Amino acid sequence: MYTITNQLQKIGFSINLLSEIIKRNNGSKKFNTLEYYCICLVADSTKLTVSGVSHNIEAGNAVFIGPQKNVEFGDAEGKEIYTIAFSSDFYDRSSKDSFFMNSQIFYNYQSEVFIAPYFGNTIYNEIVLVDRLSKFREKNESLYISAAHNAIEGLILDAFLHIGCPQAENDERLMFVSHVNRFKILLQRDFKTAKKVSYYADELRLSPRRLTEMTEYVYGKSAKQLIIEKIKLECEKAIKYSNFTLSEIAYDMGFNDEGNFSNFVKKHCGKKPSEMRLTLVSN
> What pLDDT, on the 0 to 100 scale, is given for residue 174?
64
> What pLDDT, on the 0 to 100 scale, is given for residue 277?
81
**Whole-model pTM?**
0.61
| Cβ–Cβ under 8 Å, residues 59 and 45 | yes
> What pLDDT, on the 0 to 100 scale, is given for residue 253?
94
> What pLDDT, on the 0 to 100 scale, is given for residue 127?
61
> What pLDDT, on the 0 to 100 scale, is given for residue 169?
43
Strands (E), the chain: 13-17, 30-32, 37-42, 46-50, 53-57, 61-65, 70-73, 81-86, 113-117
Average pLDDT by stretches of 10, the chain with 283 residues: 66 89 85 89 88 87 89 83 90 80 77 78 59 86 90 88 57 71 86 95 94 86 93 90 90 93 93 80 50
> What pLDDT, on the 0 to 100 scale, is given for residue 279?
61
Rg of the chain over all Cα atoms, to the nearest angstrom: 21
List, in sequence order, every residue forming a beta bridge with 47; answer none if it has no partner: 56
> What pLDDT, on the 0 to 100 scale, is given for residue 138?
87
> What pLDDT, on the 0 to 100 scale, is given for residue 109?
61
> What pLDDT, on the 0 to 100 scale, is given for residue 119?
55
Exposed, middle or buried, 275 (CB in 10 Å: 0-12/13-18/19+)? middle
Average pLDDT in the chain: 84
